[in-house]
Amino acid sequence: MTTDVFEMRLQRALAMLESKKLGRSTYAPPLFRLMWKMGLKLPPPHMAGFAINATLMGGFFGVFWGLFMWLLMWSRQGMPVLVGAATALVAGLLFGLTMAWYLRHQARKHGIPHWREFEA
């Protein structure tokens, strides 16, 4: 899929999601907008697969939350690096699975198709 075709399809998908009365920060969160600006061809989160949402959101959360906690608390408390990394990994996994479930639930509730089924 060329960039122009993807961009046109994405804009139509975002318009459809907006018509469902979802908040912009929900159907086009900052993380996804950043990825789109970087040229990654990711579907909007409600239309993406469970694995994509769990991996992307969980990975982002786990890394940045773990770094934040390490810099502000854990290093000062003497927590071993591996324990901090494992804690961040578990937190990222739980956050990613929760967000992926929530987005899939919202998609079903509002009748939002998967990206592969969406015709622009």
The structural domain count of the chain equals: 1
Structure tokens belonging to residue 3: 């960039």
> pLDDT per residue over 8-48, tens digit each?
999 999 999 999 989 999 999 999 999 999 999 999 999 99
Residue 104 identity (one-letter amino acid): R
Alpha-carbon distance of 52 to 87, in angstroms, equals 22
Q: How confident is the model at residue 108 (pLDDT cuts 50, 70, 90)?
A: very high
| Residue numbers of the domain that contains 93 | 3-117
pTM of the model: 0.87
Residue 117 identity (one-letter amino acid): E
Question: What SS3 state is found at 22?
Answer: coil
Q: DSSP assignment, residue 98? A: H
